[in-house]
C-alpha cells in the first residue's frame, strides 16, 4: 500500500493526460 500511495500521485498526471488526448482525438477524428 505505501508504495502505491507514493506512485499514485506520480502516475495520475500521465493517466489524466492520456484521457485528455483520447478525448481530443475523438472530438477531432
pLDDT of residue 18: 87
C-alpha to C-alpha distance for 28 and 20, rounded to whole angstroms: 12
Q: How far is CA 15 from the centre of its chain?
A: 1
Q: Which residues of 4-29 are buried (b: 16+ CB within 10 A; e: fewer)?
A: eeeeeeeeeeeeeeeeeeeeeeeeee
The percent of residues in the chain predicted with pLDDT above 70, rounded, is: 76
Q: Of the candidates 27, 23, 3, 26, which has an alpha carbon nearest to the alpha carbon of residue 11?
A: 3
Residue 14 binned pLDDT confidence (cut-offs 50, 70, 90): confident
Amino acid at each position: 500500500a505505501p508504495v502505491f500511495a507514493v506512485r499514485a500521485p506520480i502516475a495520475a498526471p500521465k493517466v489524466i493526460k492520456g484521457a485528455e488526448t483520447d478525448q481530443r482525438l475523438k472530438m477531432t477524428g
